[in-house]
Structure 1
Amino acid sequence: MKLIPLAVACLSGSLVLGGCAAFTGSDTAGIQVATAFYPLEYVAQRVAGDLGTVQNLTAPGKEPHDLELTIRETAAVAGADLVVYESGFQPAVDAAVDQNSTGDVLDATDVVELEDYADGQVNPHFWQDPLRMAALGDAVAKHLADLDPDHADTYRTNAADLRSDLEDLDTAYADGLADCERTTIVVSHDAFGYLAKYGLDMAPIAGLSPDAEPTPADLAKLQDLIRSDGITTVFGERLVSPRLTQSLADDMGITAAVLDPLEGLTADDEDADYLSIMTDNLHALEKANGCS
């Protein structure tokens, strides 16, 4: 386990002294882990427990797709004992890992099996599947145990506890969505494909990117689908403007609600975490689709 050297942390004279101090003080004891965005941070925190410090490169309230790293965040990559990221999802993080990481690296795509969209592009949103998250937790435990063998049993125990929670969540989704009046959900962008394992069909407004604009033809198809399937709810996201989802819901006279893709938390989420938000998502799905 190492502390971040001053020469690495202060990669540029433009880095303020306060930023340097955050990464060079002797108070950063234990394993140092840098994670690319929130679901990876959640897994790393659960597995590391009190034995390490986890730094999330995507700040609360920020949309991870378009992340650009600051010097401070690049320093966190350079000084981490372990970096957990997902290659292909955040190009800036990919570049920082390739150019600056000096410790161990865990690419989630080497651990979880990613699915493809219908057009052949890879769907990166694996964290919507709790069992894939459990597999990542096991891999994090293995890396931390190799880095800190004196506490290997603790990391493995933490990962087992995490897996138990995630298996319970997976069962809750399977049971809660087993008997529903509808199976189609209209969502702001195509971030929920891994929920198809529970029998759901996705109808995204904006396609792969939350910032994409649907064509008039796309909106017309969604309106027809809402009428034909009796859809009651259009789901938006917390980190993306509700303009499109609210407009579609208003046009159709149905409800606009939130289905969180869990790409990040907001500054108001002090009491929320992956498990609680996924549970809130399940309840929203059950209500929208008339599940019993």
Structure 2
Amino acid sequence: MILMSKRFLAAACAAATALALSACSSAPSSEGNASKDGTLTVMASFYPLQYLAEKIGGEHVTVTSLTPAGAEPHDLELSPKTVDALASADAVVYLAGFQAAVDEAIEQQAPTTVIDVSPAVELVEANSSANHPSEDEDADEAQSGESTTEEHADHDHEGHHHDMSTDPHFWLDPVRMASAATLVGDKLAEADPANADTYKANAQALNEELSALGDDLVAKTATCQIKTFVTAHTAFGYLADRTGLTQVGISGLDPDSSPSPARLAEIGQIAKDQGVTTIFTEALIDPKVAQTLADDLGISTAVLDPIESQTDSSKDYVAVMKDNINALSTANNCQ
């Protein structure tokens, strides 16, 4: 009897287990592309896109940046573990052509939803104007801060081809950032239809906030007495375009590029001719060259943040852009 009981119990347990497994395998999933806690897992390639994904996704997304906070995104390297995590994510938000390691990882192991913001932001070709010079701009080819070079340079950092045929720094124009917000909202809505209305509403609200920030940028720089500003690297071309100002970069589009002595002398002359009061530095770039140039000219330094990475966790994209607007309007005597 004891033996029969054990066999009966074993058979009953096996039958119950089989029934449960059958029920689980045949039941449809209601989560779609969702993580265990019910949120979409989203990878963003660097901070401005992380900001968009978090603001638009809200409680429905879990966002991770492929570029660590405080790190330089231009020459990002991805570990095999990170590439695997990217492949298993529900979505990735990135800017094609900006970070070679991210482009390569997506080509190899793309997640279900790939959101490239470049079609929405109207990238400008390098060397098309003074504000978007090519990376091979040489001091003796430039006059009054304007590039006349005909070719662009690609940089190879630790094995990754670095394409600078276009200026990637669109997010420094809040209006372009607003366009990216709309695209991200639409794509997240497609990836997670159950929460589509929320994504689109959040994107619309963010678009309006960023557009207003762009209006504020224009208003506060409309009366600038000084029309030129000098930056640590040429990241602010889209901001300059929006304001009608001209930027002069110590380094080029890639902050790793080094200025020649002739280029520094030329920048110094431009600063004198244009009445520049300030040389702008950045948190992620050694300020030594900018500080030396400012000291030689007898003028000040201040920070203009390219917002390529979040260097202060207490300030988000909008807060830093407001700081930038104030710094620029002060340095350029905008009444």
2: distance between equivalents of 1:109 and 1:2? 24
The residue number in structure 1 matching 2:191 is 147
CA contact (8 A) 1:55 1:76 kept: no
TM-score of the pair, normalised by structure 1: 0.89
1:117, 1:143 → 2: CA distance? Answer: 28
Secondary structure (helix, strand or coil) at the match of 1:182 reads coil
103-112 or 61-70: which moved more?
103-112
SS at match of 1:247: helix
Aligned 1:101-140 pairs, distance under 5 A: 101-118=110-127, 119=134, 121-140=165-184
Partner of 1:286: 329
Distance 1:3 1:135 in 2: 26
Q: How far did residue 176 of structure 1 move?
A: 0.2
User: Which residue of 1 is the match for residue 9 of structure 2?
Assistant: none
Q: Secondary structure at the match of 2:74?
A: helix
Distance 2:302 2:190 in 1: 44
Confirm or deny: 8 A CA contact 2:182 2:200 kept in the other structure.
yes
1:201 alignment partner in structure 2: 246
Deviation at 1:117, TM superposition (A): 2.3
Number of the residue aligned with 1:217: 262
Name which one, 1 or 2, has greater alpha-carbon Rg: 2
In structure 2, which of residues 227, 250, 261 is the aligned counterpart of residue 183 of structure 1? Answer: 227
Match of 1:72 among 64, 75, 81: 81
Over the aligned positions, Cα root-mean-square deviation in angstroms equals 1.3
Aligned residues, how many? 268
Q: Distance in 2 between matches of 1:30 and 1:185?
A: 43
1:80 CA drift (Å): 1.5
Match of 2:307 in 1: 262
Does residue 281 of structure 2 align to residue 236 of structure 1? yes
C-alpha displacement at 1:111, in angstroms?
Answer: 2.1
- Single out whichever of 279-288 and 143-152 deviates more from structure 2: 143-152
TM-score, structure 2 as length reference: 0.78
| Residue in structure 2 matched with residue 40 of structure 1 by the alignment | 49
Deviation string 1:164-214 (CA, Å, 9 cap, x unpaired) is: 110110110010000011010000111000012211101100112212111
Indicate if the aligned counterparts of 1:41 and 1:56 stay in contact, CA closer than 8 A: yes
Q: Secondary structure at the match of 1:186?
A: strand
Partners of 2:288 and 2:258 lie apart in 1 by 11
Segment drifting more, 205-214 vs 86-95 = 205-214
Q: Who is 2:92 aligned against?
A: 83
1:151-162 pair list within 5 angstroms: 151-162=195-206
Contact 1:39 1:127 in 2 (8 A): yes
* Aligned-residue offset at 1:229: 1.1
Between the aligned partners of 1:139 and 1:100, the Cα distance in structure 2 is 22
- 1:124 Cα deviation after fit: 0.6
Contact 1:131 1:166 in 2 (8 A): yes
Residue in 1 that maps onto 2:213: 169
> Within 2, Cα distance between the matches of 1:206 and 1:112?
24
Q: Which runs of 5+ in 2 are unaligned?
A: 1-31, 128-133, 135-151, 153-164
Shift of 1:102: 2.9
Shift of 1:3: 6.0
Question: C-alpha displacement at 1:72, in angstroms?
Answer: 3.2
| Alpha-carbon separation, structure 2, partners of 1:223 and 1:102 | 48
Letter in 2 for 1:106: I
Q: Which runs of 5+ in 1 are unaligned?
A: 5-25
Whole-Å separation in 2 of the counterparts to 1:154 and 1:72: 32
Contact 2:117–2:184 (CA<8 Å) still a contact in 1?
Answer: no
After TM superposition, give the deviation of residue 106 of structure 1 in Å.
Answer: 1.0
